[in-house]
Copies of this chain bind each other. A is one copy, B any other.
Amino acid sequence: MKIGVDYYPEQWDRALWQTDADLMARTGVKLVRLGEFAWSRLEPKDGEFDFTWLDEAISNFSRHAMGIVLCTPTSCPPLWMYETYPDIVQVGTDGNRLQTGIRAHRCLNAPMFLYYAKRITEQLAKRYANNPAVAAWQIDNELEAYPCTCEVCRGLFRDWLIDKYDDLANINAAFGNIVWSGEYSDISQIQPPNAYPKAWQNPALCLEYSRFSADMTAKFAHDMAMIIKRENPRAKVTTNTFFSENTPDFYKLFSTLDFVSFDNYPPVKLTDEDGMSSSHAFRLDMMRGVKQKNFWVMEQLSGPTGSWMPMGPTPRPGQIKGYAMQAMAHGADTVMHFRWRTANKGAEMYWHGLIDHSNVPGRRFNEFAELCRLAPKLSVIETTELVSDVAILYSPDNDTAFRIQPQTEGFSYFEQLRYFHAAFSKYGVNVDIVSPTTDLSKYKAVIAPSMYIYDKSSAENIYRYVIKGGTVVMTARSGVKDPCNNCIMEPLPTVYREMIGAEVSEYDPIGKEEQTIVDFAGNTYKCRQWCDILELGTARAYAEYKDSFYSGKPAVTMNRYCSGVAYYIGTVCHMDFYEKFAGNIMKQTGIPRLKDLPKGVEVTTRTNGLDDYIFFFNNSEQEADIILPKAMFSIIDDTEKDKLKLKPFDMDIVRK
Which residues does chain B contribute within 8 Å of A8, judged by CB atoms? 179
Q: Nearest Cβ in chain B — how far from A537, in angstroms? A: 14
Question: 16 interchain pairs (CB within 8 A)?
Answer: A11-B176, A41-B183, A99-B197, A101-B180, A101-B182, A102-B200, A102-B201, A175-B345, A200-B307, A200-B308, A204-B345, A304-B509, A310-B411, A313-B511, A357-B488, A362-B506
Known A78-B181, A202-B347; further 10 A-B contacts with Cβ < 8 A: A75-B180, A79-B181, A79-B186, A83-B189, A99-B195, A103-B180, A306-B407, A312-B408, A345-B487, A363-B506
Query: A39-B181, A312-B511 are known contacts. Are A197 and B350 too (CB-CB below 8 A)?
Result: no
Top-9 shortest CB links A-B: A176-B345, A179-B346, A40-B181, A99-B195, A102-B200, A311-B509, A76-B181, A357-B487, A344-B487
Q: Nearest Cβ in chain B — how far from A439, in angstroms? A: 32
Q: Which residue in B38, B75, B102, B510 is a CB contact (below 8 Å) of A313? A: B510
- Give CA–CA (A418, B499) in the complex, Å: 52
In the complex, which of the residues A38, A39, A204, A345 has the most CB atoms of chain B within 10 Å of its own CB atom? A345
Produce 1/0 per residue, A173-206, CB < 8 A to B: 0011111111111101101010111111111110
Q: Which chain A residues have a beta carbon within 8 Å of chain B's beta carbons?
A: 8, 10-11, 37-41, 44-45, 73, 75-80, 82-83, 92, 94-103, 175-186, 188-189, 191, 193, 195-205, 304, 306-314, 316-317, 342-350, 356-360, 362-364, 404-409, 411, 480, 486-492, 505-511, 513, 548-549
In the complex, which of the residues A76, A202, A346, A480 has the most CB atoms of chain B within 10 Å of its own CB atom? A346
- Give CA–CA (A240, B383) in the complex, Å: 70
- The oligomer's copy count stands at 3
Which residues does chain B contribute within 8 Å of A182, judged by CB atoms? 40, 76, 79, 100-101, 346
Which residues does chain B contribute within 8 Å of A202, judged by CB atoms? 101, 346-347
Task: Tell whether, in the assembled complex, residue A199 and residue B308 are in contact, meaning their CB atoms are under 8 Å apart.
Answer: yes
Which residues does chain B contribute within 8 Å of A83, judged by CB atoms? 186, 188-189
Task: Tell whether, in the assembled complex, residue B346 and residue A181 are in contact, meaning their CB atoms are under 8 Å apart.
Answer: no
Which residues does chain B contribute within 8 Å of A198, judged by CB atoms? 308
Closest chain B residue to A42 by CB distance?
B181
Closest chain B residue to A199 by CB distance?
B308
Task: Tell whether, in the assembled complex, residue A511 and residue B310 are in contact, meaning their CB atoms are under 8 Å apart.
Answer: yes
Query: A176-B11, A201-B308 are known contacts. Are A101 and B191 too (CB-CB below 8 A)?
Result: yes
Which residues does chain B contribute within 8 Å of A311, judged by CB atoms? 407-408, 509
Which residues does chain B contribute within 8 Å of A486, judged by CB atoms? 344-345, 349
Query: A344-B489, A349-B486, A492-B358 are known contacts. Are A103 and B200 too (CB-CB below 8 A)?
Result: yes
Query: A76-B181, A78-B181, A101-B205 are known contacts. Are A357 and B489 too (CB-CB below 8 A)?
Result: yes
In the complex, which of the residues A38, A186, A189, A480 has the most CB atoms of chain B within 10 Å of its own CB atom? A189
Closest chain B residue to A16 by CB distance?
B489
Closest chain B residue to A488 by CB distance?
B357
- Give CA–CA (A177, B345) in the complex, Å: 8
Which residues does chain B contribute within 8 Å of A363, judged by CB atoms? 505-506
- Give CA–CA (A249, B11) in the complex, Å: 32
Which residues does chain B contribute within 8 Å of A82, judged by CB atoms? 189
Q: Nearest Cβ in chain B — how far from A226, in angstroms? A: 24
Which residues does chain B contribute within 8 Å of A199, judged by CB atoms? 102, 307-309
Task: Tell whether, in the assembled complex, residue B306 and residue A509 are in contact, meaning their CB atoms are under 8 Å apart.
Answer: yes
Q: Which residue in B102, B186, B196, B356 is a CB contact (below 8 Å) of A180? A: B102
Task: Tell whether, in the assembled complex, residue A180 and residue B347 are in contact, meaning their CB atoms are under 8 Å apart.
Answer: yes
- Give CA–CA (A44, B549) in the complex, Å: 47
Query: A181-B76, A489-B357 are known contacts. Are A310 and B506 too (CB-CB below 8 A)?
Result: no
In the complex, which of the residues A39, A179, A407 has the most CB atoms of chain B within 10 Å of its own CB atom? A179
Q: Nearest Cβ in chain B — how far from A153, in angstroms? A: 15
Which residues does chain B contribute within 8 Å of A358, judged by CB atoms? 489-492
Query: A316-B549, A407-B311 are known contacts. Are A11 and B179 too (CB-CB below 8 A)?
Result: yes
Closest chain B residue to A39 by CB distance?
B181
Which residues does chain B contribute within 8 Å of A175, judged by CB atoms? 345
Closest chain B residue to A314 by CB distance?
B508
Task: Tell whether, in the assembled complex, residue B99 and residue A96 are in contact, meaning their CB atoms are under 8 Å apart.
Answer: no
- Give CA–CA (A548, B486) in the complex, Å: 53
In the complex, which of the residues A95, A180, A205, A311 has the most CB atoms of chain B within 10 Å of its own CB atom? A180
- Give CA–CA (A525, B463) in the complex, Å: 63
Task: Tell whether, in the assembled complex, residue B100 and residue A178 are in contact, meaning their CB atoms are under 8 Å apart.
Answer: no
Task: Tell whether, in the assembled complex, residue B178 and residue A11 are in contact, meaning their CB atoms are under 8 Å apart.
Answer: yes
Task: Tell whether, in the assembled complex, residue B185 and residue A356 are in contact, meaning their CB atoms are under 8 Å apart.
Answer: no
- Give CA–CA (A486, B317) in the complex, Å: 28
